Amino acid sequence: MANLGIPQNTIAILQKYNFNFQKKFGQNFLIDTNVLDKIISSAQITKDDCVLEIGPGIGTMTQYLAESAGEVVAVEIDKALIPILQDTLQEYDNVTVINDDILKVDINKIVQERNAGRPIKVVANLPYYITTPIIMGLFESHVPLKSITIMVQKEVADRMQVGPGTKDYGALSLAVQYYAKPEIVANVPPNCFIPRPNVGSAVIRLTRYDEPPVQVKDESKMFALIRASFNQRRKTLVNGLGNAAGLNVSKEQVLQALEQMGLSATVRGETFTLEQFAKLSDLLGE
Ligand code: SAM
C-alpha cells in the first residue's frame, strides 16, 4: 500500500471511496511525511511497544506505527472509515481496528487483553473537540501508560506546558503536570493537513511519572480546589474558594491556611504552583 503521508496517495484514497469529511468528528488528515517521522521518533516507538492510536482516520499514522511498533490498536468512531482502513492497512498483521468512541471504550481492558496489563504508549493526531476529556480520561482512569505523544491545537499544547503567572496557565496545566512531564516537540502549520484546520497545531509528548512530583493526601480534593480556583480566575483564592459550591470550605478556613503557608490574603490561583495547591489541599483537609 502506498504511503498515505504523501498527499497524492491520500487524495487517491479519498476519491476511490468518495469519502466525505465529517466536521463533527474533527477530521483533519496528516499529509506530511516529515511530521509523521517526527511523531514516531519523538514517541520512541520500538517493536517492544503496544501502541493505542486514537482516531486513525484513513490509516496514515497507523501505517507508520505498524512499521515500528510490536502491536497497534486503533480506535475510530466513524464507521465510514472502517472499510478504508481494511484496505490501507491490509498488509499489516499487527494492527487491530476497533470501531467505537474512545470516550466510551474501556481502555484498561484493551491494555489487559493486548499487552497483559503492561504500560502502553498512546500516539494520536487527536480530534481537537475532545482533546481535554481524552487526556484527562487516560490519566484519571489510571491506564498503564509510558507516554502520550499527540497532535493538539497549538494553544492547548501551550496550556499543558506553562507554569504559574502566564495567561495560559490553568487547571489543564496543573492536571497534566501532576501526572506527566510535558514537552512540545514540533509546531505544525495548517498546510500539513487535509482539510486545513483554522488553527495552528503542535505535537506534545507527555511522559508519565512513576511517582507524582508532589505528595498530596487527597488527590481528588486537590483537583476540586484547582478547578474551583480557575473557574473564578479573576477572584482572589479566599473569595473564589470560599464561595465555591460543593467544596465545603469557608473564607476563614482559606485565609487561615494561606496564613500558615506565609502567603498574602490577596493571592490568586493563577500564581499558585502545584506544590502550593497540594499544601493548601492538605491544610484544608485537616
Ligand atoms: N490519524 C489520522 C491522521 O492523522 O490523518 C486522523 C486524525 S483526525 C485529526 C481525528 C480522527 O479521530 C478522525 O479520524 C475522527 O473520525 C476520529 N475521531 C473523532 N472523534 C472520535 C472519538 N470520539 N473516538 C474515536 N475516534 C474519533
pLDDT digits (tens, 9 = 90+) for 5-56: 999 999 999 999 999 999 999 999 999 999 999 999 999 999 999 999 999 9
Q: Is residue 1 over pLDDT 80?
A: no
Average pLDDT, the chain: 96
243 pLDDT band, cuts 50/70/90, is confident
Q: Is residue 85 over pLDDT 80?
A: yes
* Alpha-carbon torsion, ordered 229, 231, 235, 241, to 10 deg: -40
Per-residue pLDDT averaged across 137-165, rounded? 96
CA of 178 to the centre of ligand 1 (A): 27
Cβ neighbors of 232 (< 8 A, separation 6 or more) are: 239, 240, 243, 244
Cβ neighbors of 52 (< 8 A, separation 6 or more) are: 72, 73, 74, 75, 107, 110, 111, 120, 121, 122, 123
More confident residue, 1 or 223: 223
Q: What are phi and psi of 74, to 5 degrees?
A: -120, 125
Residue closest to 50 by CA, chosen among 145, 133, 137 = 145
Quote the Cα angle for 13-19-22, to 5°. 130
| The residue count for the chain | 286
Using CA positions, which residue lies closest to atom 18 of ligand 1? 55
Minimum-distance ligand 1 atom for the alpha carbon of 103: 23
Q: Residues near ligand 1 with C-beta < 6 Å?
A: 25-30, 54-57, 60-61, 75-78, 81, 101-103, 125, 127, 130
Using CA positions, which residue lies closest to atom 8 of ligand 1? 27
Core vs surface per residue 127-154: b (16+ CB within 10 A) or e: bbebbbebbbebbeeebebbbbbbbbbb
* Residue appearing with cell numbers 487517491: 12
The reported pTM is 0.94
Per-residue pLDDT averaged across 228-256, rounded? 90
pLDDT > 90 fraction of the chain, expressed in percent and rounded: 93
Minimum-distance ligand 1 atom for the alpha carbon of 101: 24
Centre a 10 Å sphere on the Cβ of residue 248 and count the other Cβ atoms it contains.
10
Question: CA 74: distance to chain centroid?
Answer: 16
Residue closest to 276 by CA, chosen among 222, 196, 198 = 222
- Is the sign of the CA dihedral 155, 160, 164, 169 positive or negative? positive
244 pLDDT band, cuts 50/70/90, is confident
- DSSP, collapsed to helix, strand or coil, labels residue 107 as helix
* Residue appearing with cell numbers 508519565: 208
Cα–Cα distance for residue pair 58/203, rounded to 1 Å:
20
CA of 28 to the centre of ligand 1 (A): 8
Note the pLDDT of residue 286. 82
